Amino acid sequence: MSWMLILVALLAAGAVVLVMLGTRGAIREVELEDRTYYDPLPRLMQMMWPLVTVLTRRLAPRLNVSQLEQTHRQLQAAGQDYTLTPEEFYGLRAASAIVVILFFLLCVLMLGKLGPSSVLACVMFGGVLGWLYPALWLGERRKLRHKAVVRDLPVYLDFITMSVEAGLNVTGGIEQAVAKGPAGALSQEFSRMLRDIRAGLPRAEALKRMSERMDISQITNFTSALIQADKVGANLSDTLRAQANQRREERFLRAEKLALEAPVKMMLPLVMFFFPLIFLFIGYFIYLKMLEEGIL
């Protein structure tokens, strides 16, 4: 039996070495692209990036145009289109699925429960969870970006309005807002719009592209009003002032709505966790009192 165990161990070690050599060769075959002009990757994504690059080259030819266009819009709305390409996002999903499956298998192996059924369960649940996690991460980034834009938009509109009233045009007002306003997602999008204008794109088209990239109703209303006022020759300062007041009122109403929703959202944790503790605490003293009175 001892020579059988030695043979199995040698075969397992050889398999591991072959897998490592094959992975290393596959990574070497794929040339890592120059990311000088991309946004920096998150730390965890940097560790996975060689595997993501390999899987991207394998998956990219199998993706259709509609999938890539939809993913590109989602990346733009989340502000990650300078971090990932649509092809790399699908490579990231595949790499995440592999990493989660391996993690589950390692946990099962450490527990000593490794078997065909457990391996199948790890592959199914780990693959689904790993595949969905990048999409959940992207959705969370989009929500945070949306909140930041809605919070900063009235401030930027005030800067643009004051600049226009001081004699600057809309483009100059946006430049001043970017220079003086708070840093964040809205500042990045306005800067990107200004780059489009400097590259020769008409201002109306640059505003329309910014609205399509961000996919936020407040930005769509602002750009539509600005483009319409520019076309009909309306007073831009009045239009901008009305937009700033409307955005500020919407932000106040949104805060009021969240405040009114807070008691309803607190009801479930109160009923599930807080009230049972109170009942147990009160019931304990009632039990002691009944013991003293001889009722029990």
Q: What is the pLDDT of residues 223-253, one digit of tens each?
A: 888 888 777 776 777 777 887 888 888 878 8
- Rg of the chain in Å (alpha carbons): 29
**Higher per-residue confidence, 190 vs 243:** 190
Burial class (CB in 10 A: 0-12, 13-18, 19+), 73: middle
Q: What is the 3-state secondary structure (H, E, C) of the chain?
A: CHHHHHHHHHHHHHHHHHHHHHHHHHHHHCCCCCCCCCCCCCHHHHHHHHHHHHHHHHHHHHCCHHHHHHHHHHHHHHCCCCCCCHHHHHHHHHHHHHHHHHHHHHHHHHHCCCCHHHHHHHHHHHHHHHHHHHHHHHHHHHHHHHHHHHHHHHHHHHHHHHHHHCCCCHHHHHHHHHHHCCCCHHHHHHHHHHHHHHCCCCHHHHHHHHHHHHCCHHHHHHHHHHHHHHHHCCCHHHHHHHHHHHHHHHHHHHHHHHHHHHHHHHHHHHHHHHHHHHHHHHHHHHHHHHHHHCCC
Give percent of the chain with pLDDT exceeding 70: 87
Confidence (pLDDT) at 20: 57
Confidence (pLDDT) at 207: 86
**For range 150-172, the mean pLDDT:** 84
Confidence (pLDDT) at 42: 80
pLDDT in tens, 101-146: 888 888 888 877 777 888 888 888 888 999 999 999 999 989 988 8
* pLDDT of residue 3 exceeding 70: no
Are 198 and 206 in contact by the 8 Å Cβ rule? The answer is no
Q: d(Cα 236, Cα 288) in Å, to the nearest integer?
A: 76
* pLDDT of residue 28 exceeding 80: no
